[in-house]
Structure 1
């Protein structure tokens, strides 16, 4: 059995946590599946040092389940090798306190007995792309923005989820209140809990705004190493969810929970640095945009059609594209233009980067970061030309590259993509396609209330 952690985690980290928090009795152990859902267990205090010393077994079939936790036989992971466990090891730097729960939390990743990453774990997919980038002399840097809704924990008499009441006043507003600071003040007890928890978890949360829909908010996360940026999303979503429950609310991370309101995105800001931390996407001395960044954008434009199932993994994800309000399902790019898929913000010349705006907040951040970085590296290797930047409202222009039009199209596009097979690896590629086909078939058999209302007694 592997006795040295392949992640580089050490028992000193566990010992320091136990010493600092003598009152903590439980620790959440979180492994992220292909959907971005945390699977794992809550261990007791006396088990923590053993986790860091020798890992913890968990079933590999967790990566062969659909979003509801049901096994999908076509993944090749159900009862694989007789259904035995693999060993999960802590991710260094992710052990921290959840003060509102008085429990610890640590992220883990799955490994084979010889210390190699398990083939269907999404976190190592991103690690492989980062290793490729470093081999080429690049250090990927990034940050995510998270949009989400806060709703009452229980639906009303008609089965509808309403915007959550404000914890400070008990009021409920049905107004849009875009970027209202007063709305944030009324929600401040909740966000105070979020920021307190983030500080204890080492989670660098930054600004919060009231977004472009009733009950919708956005949190930004500080720019840093791309792998830790993806870890940040996993921890932030868990923190937001658990804090919301303490106020009688639920945090909703569906991409399009309300058909007439704005969808929720997970925008990824990305750049490449050198070994000394200098931004390689910085503007040229002439003031022109970096050729390296433009090649990166060109590569992503070339590959984005193959990646759409990662960016929009569920049926609901595609409802976000039915309305073009700040939801660019395209391959367009531009400078300081929120109607494009790949936006170059109007930042300083030295902090220049681009923002990938297509992914929904329901997507797996490890996979979103992996396919984005892979596309950028592809573009750099091929010296891809991004084409002219879009001007004005790009929603009126069709994508240059033919993109999938539906969830089913995206499933079949990814299934046949050599690029995505290479990025995900053979095992995860097979599993991801099988899971999405199974989810598609399940939903294809579900007759909605709207269908009954429209067709039930009319045709």
Structure 2
């Protein structure tokens, strides 16, 4: 049982919320599946207190749906199980208003439990909780911040199905220039960003600086770090939903696809991690830019495990289009100080802020599962005092072919490696690794069963 993720919000939390917001009468119960997709139910006000008292029944098959929401019957957890119900129970601190849904709307996150009260072992939130329990047992607590890049695109596709960056309301021209860190690009979508900040403040999400990223229509806003790994990932889940909903309300589409445009930068999810001891002191803090031995051992574990966890860092077919040299998407298990060409970066900053930034994940990854794999590698490295080798100085992309255990280069190899990983099985659980692998292999079969237009362009006449 995960102690870290097993805390359930009390009834008093919902009672206080409804007392403060007597107009609320449309509340979405949200569960985050393996693919990171929010699923659930929309409830009336009078139904919600019962969820806080005893949970809400939902079929267990929701834990093994694929990215399209289809049951994965190959897991044996659908018909063989009778598609039996389990219980959704509320996550503390997540019952908040959703202004994009109107004046009477709200939402809350849930975790999945067995009927006997045990955390369901396939719930991504509980998978992360089990990894956090390893740190807690050692008197430690990871501190996380999650950065997400995304594109604003035109919700109307072209006739050939392609997409294009969103256009500002005053213009008929599609943006074409990169304009990294451009302020005009933020001004162009000011109504969207103003609404985003207002809604984030209303939901208690620690949303901070915004930048125009390395492609037209690409942006990144930062979430302040949290000394609670679960809550940091809850924030990321709520933030992604917030971005998509506010964009839709402004006639835009926000996408966290890893590589929506072949010729432009991909979108990453950067996970910043430090580790506090029982007194709240950062055990990575040091005057040395490379940090303490504990930080270097943590990086050593991340390097040793990145290939094993890559199916969680890059979970979809599109994910692998992002990894190209000189693209700010890392392609080798490298680390360095103040260097964005490596996979594991120690950012510049004061000694007390010393931490590591994991740069391998795509923005399409499930934050709970990606963080679980990152922290599993860190804990393994710290426990075994794993040496990361020398830090890279200069262009880390030059090290792409310099040897070492490179991450898998394609979706099939990544899932195979994940399925065979003793380390991932140790930290995430055998059944989770097996079920995730089955879901992904079925997705692979379904994805490659479709004949794309490119096949006709290349092979119709010439084959």
Same fold (TM over 0.5): yes
| Deviation (angstroms), 1:169 | 6.3
Aligned to 2:458, the other structure's residue is in SS state: helix
Q: Judge which range, 72-81 or 432-441, deviates more.
A: 72-81
Aligned to 1:412: 416
Q: Judge which range, 418-427 or 164-173, deviates more.
A: 164-173
User: Do the aligned partners of residues 170 and 42 (structure 1) sit closer, same or farther apart at CA in structure 2, a change above 3 Å counting?
Assistant: farther
Aligned to 2:431: 427
Residue 118 (1) aligns with residue 120 (2):
yes
Q: Structure 1: which 4+ aligned runs deviate by more than 4 Å?
A: 167-172
Aligned to 1:96: 96
Which residue of 257, 260, 263 maps to 2:266? 263
Equivalent residues in 2 for 1:179-328 (5 A)?
179-224=181-226, 225-283=228-286, 289-322=291-324, 324-328=326-330
Structure 2 unaligned runs (5+)? none
Aligned partners of 2:169 and 2:239: how far apart in 1? 20
Deviations 1:399-438, CA, capped at 9 Å, x for gaps: 5114312111111111111111222212211111001111
Aligned partners of 1:160 and 1:314: how far apart in 2? 19
The 8 Å contact of residues 168 and 188 in structure 1, kept in 2 or not, is answered as: no
User: Do the aligned partners of residues 92 and 306 (structure 1) sit closer, same or farther apart at CA in structure 2, a change above 3 Å counting?
Assistant: same
User: Do the aligned partners of residues 305 and 90 (structure 1) sit closer, same or farther apart at CA in structure 2, a change above 3 Å counting?
Assistant: same
Aligned partners of 2:156 and 2:60: how far apart in 1? 34
| Deviation (angstroms), 1:172 | 4.2
Aligned to 1:25: 25
Deviations 1:324-375, CA, capped at 9 Å, x for gaps: 4000032100001101000000011111000000000000100111111111
Aligned to 1:450: 454
Residue 47 (1) aligns with residue 56 (2):
no
User: Do the aligned partners of residues 287 and 183 (structure 1) sit closer, same or farther apart at CA in structure 2, a change above 3 Å counting?
Assistant: closer
Paired residue total: 454
The 8 Å contact of residues 168 and 189 in structure 1, kept in 2 or not, is answered as: no
| Deviation (angstroms), 1:287 | 6.5
Aligned to 1:347, the other structure's residue is in SS state: coil
The TM-score normalised by the length of structure 2 is: 0.95
Aligned to 2:79: 79
Aligned partners of 2:419 and 2:361: how far apart in 1? 19
Aligned partners of 1:447 and 1:18: how far apart in 2? 51
| Deviation (angstroms), 1:129 | 1.0
Aligned partners of 2:223 and 2:135: how far apart in 1? 22
| Deviation (angstroms), 1:441 | 1.1
Q: Judge which range, 267-276 or 414-423, deviates more.
A: 414-423
Aligned to 2:61: 61
Aligned partners of 2:318 and 2:43: how far apart in 1? 34
The 8 Å contact of residues 331 and 397 in structure 2, kept in 1 or not, is answered as: no
Aligned partners of 2:453 and 2:377: how far apart in 1? 41
Deviations 1:266-300, CA, capped at 9 Å, x for gaps: 0000010012211111015x676211000000011
Aligned to 1:441: 445
Aligned partners of 1:423 and 1:74: how far apart in 2? 24
User: Do the aligned partners of residues 208 and 170 (structure 1) sit closer, same or farther apart at CA in structure 2, a change above 3 Å counting?
Assistant: farther
Aligned to 1:12: 12
| Deviation (angstroms), 1:100 | 2.5
Structure 1 unaligned runs (5+)? none
User: Do the aligned partners of residues 168 and 92 (structure 1) sit closer, same or farther apart at CA in structure 2, a change above 3 Å counting?
Assistant: farther
Equivalent residues in 2 for 1:163-178 (5 A)?
163-167=165-169, 172-178=174-180
> RMSD of the TM alignment (CA)?
1.6
Aligned to 2:147, the other structure's residue is in SS state: strand
